[in-house]
Amino acid sequence: MALWVTFWGTRGSIPVSLDCASVRDKLAKAIVAASGKGLDTQEKARAWVDTELDFAVSHTFGGNSACVQLDAGDGQYVLCDLGSGVRAFGNHVFRRDGPSKKNVFHVFQSHLHWDHIMGFPFFGPAYVAGNKIRIYGCHPNLEQALRRQQDPPSFPVPFESLAASIEFVTLQPGRSYDVAGWSVTARLQNHSGDSYGYRFVRDDRIIVYSTDSEHRLDVPDEVEGAAAFFADADLVIFDAMYSLADAVSVKEDWGHSSNVVAVELCQLASAKHLVLFHHEPANDDENIARIWQETLRYEEISRTGQLLRVSAAYDGMEIEL
Amino acid sequence: MHVSQERYGDTLVLTPVGRIDNSSTDGLRSNIQPYLANCREDGDRLVLDFSKVDYISSVGLRVLMLASKQVREQGGSIVIAARQPVVHEIFDISRFDHLFQCFDTVRQALAKVSAKALAAYDSTHSA
């Protein structure tokens, strides 16, 4: 059975959007690149855009904060984090299921920083009676954090007014839980106020969600623990917010990692596919595309075993496992 | 990890040899550490000659950053010279080229850090 991972929000720290100057710049580049190509129909133009134009020109990596969906095709909704991307996910559910179908949503929270919970007040299914939302996490103040952001004067609709049934489930890191057909294990990560990565296993396939974590490869215990957590993963979704230079100097102890550490850790763990995630909000599409290409090259340089596939997450990206 | 050393006037040129990965980083650290204390404003300059390094991992780069930080606090500096193309790429990808002054050759590095060292180098290499 196919498993799907859909990225509804991939940006770190704060949502961003394309501004007018960026759209204008993309259009100008596309027009110049298209000259002389004979693109006189919409179909020809779309095909050319999809196959010939640079990704950073034809697309955007997007700007919603963290929200990732795991889909086993069984109608169960499983999410990681409630960043601003969960709003788009909620709209997708309404389009797909219609307004009357009642659903159960299982949400695993990496941590409670605002960019990872800010989408919940805008998650449409939370306002529909009959829906059930179970929010899992290792932080003891999980429920308080979700409630507090809807208190006055921050938001006009109090948490108590949400019509869906909402339940909070506290998990113990290192212990395996069976949720919605997945075996799920959390691991403590190095981040201000703590964060937790999740290892999901189903039908012999392994997905690791590890965001907001400063991985220190100079600390042997940390390397061993992270490599075991990532071991043989089919997909590793990894916080690659900073350059290595920033991560070990001016931004040391800021709780995020780099693309270089991502590659080395995935190679050590014999993971198969790395997805760069939690993009730095200061980076535009060209910068993220450049980091992606450089990461592909670093994987090639540092490879001593099997090939590690590398992708850069974008809002709307789907990966089939 | 083997690190050879050569003195040119007030400048030490340290030349690590081989692959700097997680297994050899301790060797790099222990071999350059003895030279850091005297790398200060009125002391030695340090040039790391990377001509014999064919790879450096994130942990190795971190060792360089910590060494640079230590000597900077003492008023000294470390510069990098003669990187092989792959190591040059790794510095670009990791943005370590923003943290270190890098030069194509040892001579260019010496010319930047010390006129005395350059004179000593030129007299040695023209002899």
Q: Above 90 in pLDDT, residue A1?
A: no
Q: Note whether B25 contacts A: Cβ–Cβ < 8 A.
A: yes
User: Nearest by CB to A217, which of B58, B69, B86?
Assistant: B58
| pLDDT value of residue B22 | 86
The reply to whether B62 touches chain A by the CB within 8 Å rule is yes
3-class DSSP state of A84: coil
Residues 6+ apart with CB under 8 A from B90: A298, A301, B55, B56, B61, B96
pLDDT digits (tens, 9 = 90+) for A253-279: 999 999 999 999 999 999 999 999 999
> What is the interface pTM, i.e. ipTM, of the complex?
0.94
Residue closest to A234 by CA, chosen among A159, A141, A148, A311: A311
Interface contact A302-B57, CB threshold 8 A? yes
Reported as a pLDDT band with limits 50, 70 and 90, residue B126 is confident
DSSP class of residue A47 equals H
Radius of gyration of chain A (CA): 20
Q: Identify all chain B residues contacting A289, using CB atoms and an 8 Å cutoff.
A: none
CA distances in angstroms from B26 to A77, B17, B21, B22, B44, listed in the order given: 47, 14, 9, 8, 23
Put simply, the answer to whether B61 touches A248 (Cβ < 8 Å) is: yes
pLDDT band, very low/low/confident/very high, at A321 (cuts 50, 70, 90): very high
The average pLDDT across B40-68 equals 95
User: What is the predicted pLDDT for the residue at A218?
Assistant: 87
pLDDT, residue B127, reads 58
**Residue-averaged pLDDT of chain A:** 96
Q: Which two tokens stand for residue A60?
A: 């955007």
Against a cut of 0.90, is the pTM above it? yes
Q: Determine contact: A240 vs chain B, CB below 8 A.
A: no
Write the CB contacts of A276 (distance below 8 Å, at least 6 apart in sequence). A238, A240, A259, A262, A288, A291, A292, A295, A310, A311, A312, A313
A105-146 pLDDT tens trace: 999 999 999 999 999 999 999 999 999 999 999 999 999 999
Q: What pLDDT, in 10s, does the model give residues A177-192?
A: 999 999 999 999 999 9
What is the percentage of chain A residues whose pLDDT exceeds 70?
100
Residue A258: its chain B contacts at CB < 8 A? 58, 94
Min distance B122 CA to chain A CA atoms (Å): 34
Q: Do B65 and A261 touch (CB under 8 A)?
A: no
User: What is the rounded distance in angstroms from the CA atom of residue A218 to the CA atom of residue B65?
Assistant: 13
Tell me if A217 and B55 make a contact (CB, 8 A cut-off). no
- Is A294 touching B (CB cutoff 8 A)? yes
Tokens of A93: 């559910």
Burial label, A101 (beta-carbon count in 10 A; 0-12, 13-18, 19+): middle
The string of DSSP letters for B45-84 reads EEEEE-TTEEEE-HHHHHHHHHHHHHHHHTT--EEEE---
Res B123: pLDDT: 94
Name the percent of chain A lying above pLDDT 90: 97
Given CB atoms, is A296 within the 8 Å cutoff of chain B?
no
Number of helices (H) and strands (E) in chain B: give both, helices first.
5, 7
Which residue in B55, B70, B95 has the most chain A C-beta atoms within 10 A of its own C-beta, making it the best mutation to test that interface? B95
Nearest CA in chain B to A292: B93
| CB contact B96 to A (< 8 Å) | yes
pLDDT higher than threshold 90 for residue A293: yes
